[in-house]
Structure 1
């Protein structure tokens, strides 16, 4: 892998307190937050652009409904005052948020994406980023998901859902790397 661009942006998706809600079920990758913190610390040291994405639900019963603790960023991943915050109402962080314009205005062409949920907001955002022509890198071990029941009632372990989602993204939309590989080339 060639070195990252000096202005490569770190995009952290939906690392909100509500992701710890037991109603979401069993998750994979218990070290994801540690890897996200490693990326965040490296980006802060290098003074690279950082974007924190927060999901704001339109449903009053959601853990991400505004004003509830679940909607707030996790304590260890709080944005600093100068770091950009994007609020979204759908899984894709590019939809109706101004994110694409914000990136183009700053001539940012490369994105490193981490966060949750791998097969939902991460996948939707990565697909759009790739389709829009950004050089997207997904930090595989800095993402996680939850067990998922398919339409036939079969329960898929979070590990399988995560692996398949990352494989889908690696086909056409992004490079999928581990945090260590990204940090080595930053």
Structure 2
């Protein structure tokens, strides 16, 4: 069983591509005939509002809210598609940085990796669109890059000619969390949207991320507000 979120760790909620293009009638056909998770909007809105409340009420500087948004893909930019969905509009005070990207990964050409490392983020919570594209790619790359991990040994990692390390490198692992019901995707080929969504989540669970639900995430965030 996945352990509860540890909000004693410096944590960033990363919202991925919550843009109006995914609901625009002229572009929906690009993504698929149907979408998974009808509760996606309600769950993500609950996650976002609770995170904001926890940060504001507790004054906890360990909580950061970051946003990734597509700007180059034609299906996203057409029809005013780069506009965030109404429930996901960034805070007007600039406290929720936006990183613009033009590929599936949130770590290519965005400065997100360096931002997370500079802030000392040890845990990221990922949600958004779409499960099998930008969300999955971002989670996988976060794990591969070790963006929430910390090396306990200084110096370069050297390898022998056979590919083995000259010495074992001690790593303090951080945590990558996927809120599975605060993300959604579309049907692909002969596979319905719910199947694509579930297989995508299952492929990430345990190897690249810990998978939890919105209810568990919201409960942990509410608990942090208690004195």
Report how far residue 172 of structure 1 moved.
Answer: 1.1
Deviation at 1:184, TM superposition (A): 2.1
Q: How much does 1:183 deviate? A: 1.9
Which of residues 9, 14, 19 is equivalent to 1:16? Answer: 19
1:65 maps to which residue?
Answer: 77
Off by >6 Å, runs of 4+ in structure 1: none
Aligned match of 1:147: 187
2:53 is matched with which residue: 45, 68, 77? Answer: 45
User: Cα RMSD between the aligned structures?
Assistant: 1.4
Task: Give the Å deviation of 1:3.
Answer: 3.8
User: Is 1:136 aligned to residue 184 of structure 2?
Assistant: no
Alignment correspondent of 2:7:
5
CA contact (8 A) 1:63 1:71 kept: no
CA–CA distance in structure 1, aligned partners of residues 110 and 7 of structure 2:
24
Pairwise CA distance, 1:96: 1.1
Q: For structure 1, which runs of at least 5 residues remain unmatched after alignment?
A: 150-154
Q: Is the 8 A contact 2:35 2:193 kept in 1?
A: yes
What is residue 202 of structure 2 aligned with on the other side? Answer: 167
For structure 2, the residue ranges without an aligned partner over 5 or more in a row are 56-62, 149-174, 222-227
Taking the aligned partners of 1:116 and 1:173, their CA distance within structure 2 comes to 17
In structure 2, the residue matched to 1:32 is 40
- Cα distance in 1, alignment partners of residues 17 and 4 from structure 2: 28
Question: Secondary structure of the residue that 2:182 maps to in structure 1?
Answer: strand
Q: Which residue of 2 aligns with 1:107?
A: 120
Q: Does 1:79 align with 2:90?
A: yes
**Once structures 1 and 2 are overlaid, which stretch shifts more, 5-14 or 101-110?**
5-14
Contact persistence 1:43–1:49 (CA under 8 A): no
After TM superposition, list the pairs within 5 Å mapping 1:108-127 onto structure 2.
108-127=121-140
Instruction: Say whether residues 1:158 and 2:212 are aligned partners.
Output: no
What residue in structure 2 maps to residue 152 of structure 1? Answer: none
TM-score normalised to structure 2 length? 0.74
1:16-73 deviation per Cα after TM superposition (whole angstroms, max 9, x unaligned): 0001133132101111111111111111112221111101125xxx23227x411111
CA distance in 2, matches of 1:14, 1:83: 14
